[in-house]
A and B are shown apart, each in its own frame.
Chain A
Amino acid sequence: MKQEETIDKGVSRRAALKLLGAQIGLAAAGCSKPSEEIVPYVRMPERLVPGMPLRFATTLPLSGFGRGVMCTSVEGRPIKIEGNPLHPASLGATDVFAEAAVLSLYDPDRSQVVRHAGEISTWEAFAAELSAVIGNSATRGVDGLRLLTGPITSPTLLRQIGSLRNRYPKFVWHVHDPLENGAARDGAVLAFERPLLSVPQFRASDIIVSFDADPLGPGVSQIANARGLSARRRVRKSSPTSARLYVIEASPSLTGANADHRLALPPDRIAALVVGLGRQLGADLPDPHLAEAEATLLEAIHRDLAPHAGRGIVLVGPTQPAEIHAIAHWINGQIRAPVDLFEPPGNGVPPGTLSDLVRDLEAGKAESVVIIDCNPAHEAPPALGFASALRRSKFRVHVGSYADETAAICDWHIPQSHALESWSDLRAFDGTASLVQPLIAPLYATHSSHELLAILDQRGEKSDYEIVRDSWRGNAGSQDFEAWWRRALHDGVIAGSAPAKVTPSPKVPSITTLPASTRPSLVLRPDPSIFDGAFANNAWLQELPKPLTKEVWGNTVALSTADAERLGVAEGEVLRLTVDGQFIEVPARIDSRQASGVFSTTLGYGRKAAGRIGDGLGVNAYALRSAPRARRGEANWAMAPLTVSKTGERRFVPSTQHQFTLDGEPQEVFRSYTLPEFLGLRSPSDEPRLESFFPVSEGGEPRWGMVIDTSLCIGCNACVVACQVENNSPVVGPEEIALGRGMHWLRVDSYELGRDSGDRIGFQPVPCMHCEAAPCEPVCPVEASVHDSEGLNVQVYNRCIGTRFCQANCPYKVRRFNYFGYADGQEYAGLGGEVMRLHNNPDVTVRARGVMEKCTFCVQRISRARRNAEKVHRGIADGEVVTACQASCPTSAISFGDLSEPQAAVSALRKEPHHYELLGHLNTKPRTTYLAQIRNPGETTKAKP
């Protein structure tokens, strides 16, 4: 209406005629092809062939530790991350954070300029002021210079910090890690008298007992743990064995979801169970007074561990105090558990903590503070008073990728380069070092932390490339350094850099009292999608349905059904949680797997200065962290006492839980057997099938097919993000996804099987089934949904007119419709920026508004493999086509190949007795099929009453 009014008043007849003329002219011009330029290089870079992707090994950081990756670069643009098989923290697979790293690189909200007091400044101005400040400090012995970083394993950063310490004897380095597991470190000190790191070897274990630990959850060793466990859970006709996983946990985790036996208990009772297990193995510990269910489970665990000496592992999580960790170390010693122990990476002097820094700031002893790559203003416990203490310093610098909450309370902010833009090095969770090499020159005037430490050190400005090379010059040995360097870069891992394992004998700590019962208590977890909050502005991760709750774009507090009844709380009701006078108000989610008396929520939300994507989403659970306590480390994971009250409000966090429910009996859709039941299964018969109502297109060869092993899928979601990155799938935003309009081509359905079928949750990744008798095809009025000669059910975007008949007729609910131009003109928040286009895969169409789309079996990868093979006149070998989901999978649950090839891995899997088709009774002859979940609860009596 408004527009019409302005046109009526403002446009004269003459102008209207002009506009009309222009319109006709433009319309005519629009008929001809727009011109396009070809801009060749002036000098061709070495080894680059336009149109051919290049792959480089590099390392991505998570909590300071590295995960080796292979990054695909197209014409200088990094577009896809995959795993590096040689790297121990990747083993060829990825996690959600590695997959989503590309989006963070191109994030338009990244900090782009140096800022001083909120105004744009320059690196030179900063360097000049820094020299002046250090100059002042130097004359007074530099007792006021402090460095605060996140956790660091980088050998070069540690070397640089060591060098600073030599230069300024009173300089202190502090570390702030919001996800620190301080109790584990203190527990190692109690058991071994030094803070050893321990790495469980799941590959070599039969019985795994986790006391609130989450080795399969998000974290630096998730991929390695998952791969290790999968090696022991790959149930086949030829190897019908499976490891057994016991989990005792306070709130549902991925590890608990994959457990054969699971018991939900509050943290203090979990401690009691560890003490009980220690007593059973002969330790001198107080009687934990176990309840019946606890005692039954403990008995089963003890009975299982005893005959598996050398093949059982006990793990303890961060909610437990140091003494309990120490007892677990002792237990592992008793049962000769396959756990590797080694010295943590460091540079001789352990760093100070954040509370040390706050104390010094308040005492006026820290005049200048340089903060690199951490966000204590958001993450530190409020009781610590970090922000007000920091304001007492005279010179504050923040170096980070975003002008975040901490940058807001610093004088200077220096934009930090992304890991894909700079040189560095990192150590993996097991201590193996690898190099970080840039895939692209910095997009903005950013700097790496190495460059900043170099000017702090006042040894002249140096590039990060030179600084990193200097660290490794001594390592080449008798070899030529250049050859050594090229080998290390090529492999993405530095051979022989893992620290030596140590084998100390653990002691039992002397404890007289058990942790007191404190209920209700609050348990915190890292968020499965945005981790500690550092990924809050990554839209791929925000829109990723969380593995167990399927929530997106926010967090909730989980409480048990019993607690909900007791308090009269309904789903979505906003609860006020109070700990030590600090409170947050967060919507409730009722979870039957939650321990009674325990409330849990995830960290990382409630960001105020994350960027356009992450701001204002969810609630900041860090606000409830209590100040550091002895024997618990800096970061508290379980808080008590907790006060819960109702606010009367209701708020819902979007969830995709019931958006794509399949029409079938859950027991049929997700099949689950115990190991003895598996042994009794007969191989799938070759009986002729009924006629199909739909036309059948068998197709020629190769007959592409996929088999997904649901025993192996741990629900980590890496495949979902991998698919989104590979296939240019857009983000739709919280409002649209709440309407069921999410665009993920691959979803992971989860099934709670109920008590009768054990405690394990079923995870079922569901891509397009590529049915041979495809229900989507006959209903398409324009033949946009058709079969190709290799049996792929393809969607022709240019034919599609958007009737959505195919979506309605798809029994598997795998078709996704572009209700808006999610990828093409109507992007969510800042996602439509010019720089964001760089992440697109050039081999896949960016779909426009009004068309249907779905999983293509990565047809672009099939095509590339076919062309490569045909160019040299050979067939496509088994394993040559690897779909994006398959490549990402830490447990190798997804297999893909040619079903017409009897030797192919998929053909063999189709002959397994537990092979089945999803909704097989519909007779759609799907090309994607499943292996049923095989549980191994053993002969034990029921762990639960």
Chain B
Amino acid sequence: MAQLFRPGADSIARCVLIAIAVAPLVYLAVTYAVVLSPEVTGQNITITQPVPFSHEHHVGGLGLDCRFCHTGVESSAVAGLPATETCMTCHSQIWTQAEMLAPVRASFEHGVPLRWERIDRLPDYVYFDHSIHVAKGVGCTTCHGAVNEMPLMRQSAPLTMAWCLDCHRDPAPSLRPNEAIFSTSWTPPADQRDRGKTLLSENGIDVAHLADCSVCHR
């Protein structure tokens, strides 16, 4: 009787068996990679805005404080975008004819607000509050990146729940002293872990509470 299987059949069978074991893992790995890819999280993607506002120029170059424009950051859940009036404080004096600023002038003249595209977006069921983070020692650039080096604004963190929880479970590495909150040049010192621990107790941060569902969802 002739052989039913050709000599290579064994190898094929082995490959299939391995594939059965490996394929789900590959599938999971690919899915995980896709979910965390910038295409899905929006990280590092630059969005076209009505006015090509440059944080690099205003913050890095001119040295404007974050709070000059984002006025609500210390008191409110939302940091807020500046009213057209705020832009015009300077731009009624300088670059008054710049083509780039035409939408700002039009907005001020006609009372029609500028419509910016949101960059850092959290789902509606996340109740994030800027003011408490700022009060507890989380600096702007910790989440928003080095805006002073961004000619056009982009989302610099993945903003996934895992990313939030990394810090909520262990905030010490990200905490800064009060005077450095709005600094764009702050980098963690060598003994950050110890300093972070001191800041935890100084700022009265209850880590046990920070990972409760009700802290962000309600």
How far, in whole Å, are A856 and B80 apart by their CA atoms in the complex? Answer: 29
Query: CB within 8 Å of A: which of B197-216?
Result: 203-204, 206, 208-209, 212-215
User: How would residues 315 to 329 of chain A score, 1 for a CB under 8 Å from any chain B CB and 0 otherwise?
Assistant: 000000000000000
A794 within 8 A of B: yes
How far, in whole Å, are A860 and B217 apart by their CA atoms in the complex? Answer: 9
User: Nearest Cβ in chain A — how far from B33, in angstroms?
Assistant: 14
Contact A41 B121 (CB under 8 A): no
How far, in whole Å, are A50 and B79 apart by their CA atoms in the complex? Answer: 8
Contact A37 B131, CB 8 Å, known A798-B125, A845-B218: no
Contact A845 B84, CB 8 Å, known A37-B116, A41-B113, A859-B214: no
User: Nearest Cβ in chain A — how far from B175, in angstroms?
Assistant: 14
Within 8 Å CB of B71, what residues of A? 49
A502 within 8 A of B: no
Contact B213 A40 (CB under 8 A): no
A280 within 8 A of B: no
Contact A50 B83 (CB under 8 A): no
Contact A43 B84 (CB under 8 A): yes
Contact A788 B217 (CB under 8 A): no
Closest to A794 in B: B214
B78 within 8 A of A: yes
B108 within 8 A of A: yes
User: How would residues 845 to 888 of chain A score, 1 for a CB under 8 Å from any chain B CB and 0 otherwise?
Assistant: 10000000000100110010001001101000000000000000
Residue in A38, A51, A798, A860 whose CB lies within 8 Å of B116: A38
A922 within 8 A of B: no
Residue in A40, A798, A845 whose CB lies within 8 Å of B113: A40
Within 8 Å CB of A859, what residues of B? 214, 218
Within 8 Å CB of B218, what residues of A? 794, 843-845, 856, 859-860, 863
User: Nearest Cβ in chain B — how far from A124, in angstroms?
Assistant: 25
Contact A31 B40, CB 8 Å, known A37-B117, A43-B83, A859-B218: yes
How far, in whole Å, are A863 and B216 apart by their CA atoms in the complex? Answer: 9
Within 8 Å CB of B129, what residues of A? 867
B132 within 8 A of A: yes
Contact A50 B217 (CB under 8 A): no
Q: Contact size class for A?
A: 35 or more
B100 within 8 A of A: no
B61 within 8 A of A: no
Within 8 Å CB of B86, what residues of A? 44
Residue in A37, A49, A52, A792 whose CB lies within 8 Å of B115: A37
Contact A700 B208 (CB under 8 A): yes
Contact B80 A796 (CB under 8 A): no
Query: CB within 8 Å of A: which of B4-58?
Result: 39-40, 42, 47
Within 8 Å CB of A789, what residues of B? 206, 208-209, 212
Within 8 Å CB of B96, what residues of A? none
Contact A867 B131 (CB under 8 A): yes
Chain A contact residues: helix, strand, loop or mixed: loop
Query: CB within 8 Å of B: which of A12-45?
Result: 31-33, 35-44
User: Nearest Cβ in chain B — how far from A704, in angstroms?
Assistant: 11
Residue in A41, A44, A51, A796 whose CB lies within 8 Å of B78: A51
A797 within 8 A of B: yes
Within 8 Å CB of A42, what residues of B? 83-85, 107-108, 111-113
How far, in whole Å, are A444 and B192 apart by their CA atoms in the complex? Answer: 58
Contact A870 B135 (CB under 8 A): yes
Residue in A32, A51, A52, A796 whose CB lies within 8 Å of B213: A796
Closest to A790 in B: B209
Contact A52 B113 (CB under 8 A): no
B188 within 8 A of A: no
Contact B114 A870 (CB under 8 A): no
A675 within 8 A of B: no
User: Nearest Cβ in chain A — how far from B107, in angstroms?
Assistant: 6
Contact A51 B125, CB 8 Å, known A35-B117, A40-B83, A871-B135: no
B186 within 8 A of A: no
Query: CB within 8 Å of B: which of A125-171?
Result: none
Residue in B82, B121, B127 whose CB lies within 8 Å of A33: B121
A300 within 8 A of B: no
User: Nearest Cβ in chain A — how far from B161, in angstroms?
Assistant: 10
Contact B125 A845 (CB under 8 A): yes
User: Nearest Cβ in chain B — how far from A158, in angstroms?
Assistant: 39
User: Nearest Cβ in chain A — how far from B83, in angstroms?
Assistant: 4
Chain B contact residues: helix, strand, loop or mixed: loop
Closest to B203 in A: A873
Within 8 Å CB of B113, what residues of A? 39-42
Contact B75 A49 (CB under 8 A): yes
Within 8 Å CB of B42, what residues of A? 33
Residue from A35, A41, A798, A843 whose CB has the most chain B CB atoms within 10 Å: A41
Contact B82 A40 (CB under 8 A): yes
User: Nearest Cβ in chain B — how far from A790, in angstroms?
Assistant: 7
Closest to B50 in A: A37
A836 within 8 A of B: no
How far, in whole Å, are A794 and B127 apart by their CA atoms in the complex? Answer: 15
Contact B80 A50 (CB under 8 A): yes
A919 within 8 A of B: no
Closest to B82 in A: A40
Query: CB within 8 Å of A: which of B83-107?
Result: 83-86, 107
Closest to B134 in A: A871
Within 8 Å CB of B80, what residues of A? 40, 49-51
Closest to B212 in A: A788
A810 within 8 A of B: no
Residue in B81, B112, B206, B213 whose CB lies within 8 Å of A38: B81
Within 8 Å CB of B214, what residues of A? 788, 790, 792, 794, 856, 859, 863
Residue in A36, A40, A798, A856 whose CB lies within 8 Å of B81: A40
Contact A32 B112, CB 8 Å, known A40-B84, A700-B208: no
A786 within 8 A of B: yes
Contact A845 B217 (CB under 8 A): yes
User: Nearest Cβ in chain B — how far from A20, in angstroms?
Assistant: 23
Within 8 Å CB of B125, what residues of A? 797-798, 845
Closest to B161 in A: A798
Closest to B116 in A: A38
B179 within 8 A of A: no
Within 8 Å CB of B76, what residues of A? 49-52
Contact B114 A39 (CB under 8 A): yes
Residue from B108, B136, B209 whose CB has the most chain A CB atoms within 10 Å: B209
Closest to A793 in B: B214
How far, in whole Å, are A796 and B42 apart by their CA atoms in the complex? Answer: 25
B158 within 8 A of A: no
How far, in whole Å, are A35 and B118 apart by their CA atoms in the complex? Answer: 7
Residue in A41, A797, A863 whose CB lies within 8 Å of B215: A863
User: Nearest Cβ in chain A — how far from B203, in angstroms?
Assistant: 7
Contact A873 B72 (CB under 8 A): no
B124 within 8 A of A: yes
Residue from B72, B84, B203, B212 whose CB has the most chain A CB atoms within 10 Å: B212
User: How would residues 586 to 617 of chain A score, 1 for a CB under 8 Å from any chain B CB and 0 otherwise?
Assistant: 00000000000000000000000000000000
Within 8 Å CB of B124, what residues of A? 845
How far, in whole Å, are A792 and B218 apart by their CA atoms in the complex? Answer: 12
How far, in whole Å, are A471 and B44 apart by their CA atoms in the complex? Answer: 61
User: Nearest Cβ in chain A — how far from B165, in angstroms?
Assistant: 14
B77 within 8 A of A: yes
Contact B114 A40 (CB under 8 A): yes
Closest to A700 in B: B208
Closest 10 pairs (CB-CB, A-B): A788-B212, A51-B76, A51-B78, A40-B81, A36-B118, A51-B77, A41-B83, A871-B135, A44-B83, A42-B84
19 contacts between A and B (CB under 8 A): A32-B39, A37-B115, A37-B116, A40-B81, A42-B108, A42-B112, A49-B72, A51-B77, A51-B78, A52-B72, A52-B77, A788-B213, A790-B214, A792-B214, A798-B217, A844-B218, A856-B214, A863-B215, A870-B136
New A-B contacts (5) at CB < 8 Å, excluding given A798-B125, A798-B217, A845-B217: A42-B84, A49-B72, A52-B77, A789-B206, A794-B212
Give chain A's interface residues, CB within 8 Å of chain B. 31-33, 35-44, 49-52, 700, 786, 788-790, 792, 794, 796-798, 843-845, 856, 859-860, 863, 867, 870-871, 873
